[in-house]
Chains A and B, each alone.
Chain A
């Protein structure tokens, strides 16, 4: 009789443990799904802004062309960078191509300084504001995306959630770093 009672206790204890483990796993799993959705959502935000920038460029080039006949090379590099960025297939590729496009655009903006007529054009001014804002939105969306990725990656790599992540195949995501050759060249002032 005593043995049966002990058996019952064992079963109850085991069942309780399994239940607790299940609840913990479900909690971690939901946290991982939430993190992954946040990453996807943040990425779609970047995507929207990148597309807007791609749509903006032909307009910008068209407006500026009349004023800047001698800058064919600048226009070509922008158009080329744009088509490369539009063809990017994954986050890493997009990082590179969008970085090149950002560079080409900021070079263009420097060249614009030499054309006061263009700078006074109302249409161009409003395009310039839209472009500045789009660049900012890309930067802020990237900020939010990278925060989300860091948060999610931490979950997939830290104990104990990494066990659940391994069980259900949650893989780590890439950061979106805009790789700008120009940015790397900027001399850093050290004190």
Chain B
């Protein structure tokens, strides 16, 4: 997949340059609109500073920002051993230099994404809904898809694009408000009133167009890579059906993701929106098509087999870069496991949810008291009293937290 990796690195550079142009232009316009011709230089200078700061921030902690904005919580292996096992399995299969960090998003809608700078510094995040709905093979397919994004270096590009797009949306928003407040000043200064008025209209149009353009670029790039990550996932797991049935369950879910927004949407394995919002800007190829391609892979699990399946399902030319197609070694697919898989019982899944809930409470500073009658008291931080009564057996406990 070297070709794809190079394309992604190049795209990251193009994105950074385009963003610089866009920001500098916007800065110049803003300067002109607010101050006049002498403000153009200052505007460009400030915009350049903003761009530099943004680039630095997105490289150093863009992944953290995106994870935080989607409400993801980093978890330890005890919280969900199976999820950790699966991530480690895929790390071994893909020969990643380091274990990705594992995050859980407290959201009932099933979805997942990956982020990070490079394969040695990466993270995968899955929702609670995903963990509740999928079985082991399906979860493995989803994680393999995310690990493929890491291997293909999609993560840096998507992270950069996410931060940049987020900023443009924010800047344009600020600017639109700014022109509303600024209108007073415009009427008080009488000289070159017309020119400034025209400039404000142009700036306004630019402010509306810029986020739209950025979004179109972002969406256009994120479709092909989903197919590529699917192909990579099959190559890792050798089991197309796992991912196919996972996608079926994810796309069949009617629950929209509450924590996703238009900036983070393209990161997810499947579009997080439902209903009218989903059709406006489709960030993902149709799940139905992806499932058909995966199910059409009958002969083997290498890139050629995926490409062949893709061509026969869509009738278009292939999606896999030529360099990856040269791979000659035949890879057979794995048969469905005949031995009994540990399918978690409903009780075990409920237990899992409680574990995760407690994990989050612990991070928020909750105190836990195990009452001898079997009740576990969960106390929020900064309780006004130091005595708590157990609701079942009425024993009074003393709270020892600070």
Contacts and interface: CB of A to CB of B under 8 A. Distances in A.
B194 interface: no
Question: By CB atoms of chain B within 10 A, which of A42, A49, A132 has the most?
Answer: A132
A130 B340 contact: no
Nearest to B136: A132
Contacts of B81: 126, 129-130
Contact of B92 (A129, A132, A137): A137
Interface in A116-157: 120, 125-126, 128-130, 132-133, 136-137, 140-141, 143-144, 150
A36 to B, nearest CB: 15
A136 B340 contact: no
Contacts of A128: 342
Given A128-B342, A150-B329, A143 B93 contact: yes
A129 B340 contact: no
A132 B342 CA distance: 8
Contacts of A106: 339
Question: By CB atoms of chain A within 10 A, which of B88, B340, B341, B342 has the most?
Answer: B342
Nearest to A109: B339
B280 interface: no
Contacts of A141: 92-93
Contacts of B89: 133, 136-137, 140
Contact of B340 (A42, A109, A144): A109
A128 B81 CA distance: 12
12 contacts: A42-B95, A45-B92, A109-B340, A110-B339, A112-B340, A129-B82, A130-B85, A132-B136, A140-B90, A141-B92, A143-B93, A144-B93
Interface residues of B, number: 22
Contacts, number: 51
Nearest to A49: B92
B73 interface: no
Interface of A: 42, 45, 49, 106, 109-110, 112-113, 120, 125-126, 128-130, 132-133, 136-137, 140-141, 143-144, 150
Given A110-B340, A137-B85, A144-B92, 20 more contacts: A42-B95, A109-B340, A110-B339, A112-B340, A113-B340, A125-B342, A126-B81, A129-B85, A130-B85, A132-B85, A137-B92, A140-B89, A140-B90, A140-B92, A140-B236, A141-B92, A141-B93, A143-B93, A144-B95, A150-B329
A90 B340 CA distance: 31
B88 A133 contact: yes
A109 B339 CA distance: 7
A137 B89 CA distance: 5
| Closest 3 pairs between A and B when the two form their complex, measured CB to CB | A133-B85, A140-B93, A128-B342
Given A125-B348, A143-B93, A144-B93, A133 B86 contact: yes
Nearest to B344: A125
Nearest to A120: B345
A140 to B, nearest CB: 4
A130 to B, nearest CB: 7
A42 to B, nearest CB: 7
A141 B342 CA distance: 21
Interface in B71-91: 81-82, 85-86, 88-90
A150 B238 CA distance: 18
A45 B88 CA distance: 12
Contacts of A112: 340
A126 B238 CA distance: 25
A9 B339 CA distance: 73
Contacts of A136: 85, 89, 140
Nearest to B86: A133
Contacts of A137: 85, 88-89, 92
Contacts of A113: 340
Contacts of A42: 95
B241 to A, nearest CB: 16
Nearest to B236: A140
Interface in B352-396: none
A130 B85 CA distance: 8
Contacts of B348: 125
A124 B329 CA distance: 40
A42 B86 CA distance: 18
A87 B88 CA distance: 27
Contacts of B90: 140
Contacts of B329: 150
Contacts of B95: 42, 144
Contacts of A140: 89-90, 92-93, 236
B390 to A, nearest CB: 25
A128 B343 CA distance: 10
Nearest to B235: A143
A133 B136 CA distance: 10
Nearest to B144: A140
B263 to A, nearest CB: 34
B113 to A, nearest CB: 22
Question: By CB atoms of chain A within 10 A, which of B236, B329, B340 has the most?
Answer: B340
Contacts of B92: 45, 49, 137, 140-141, 144
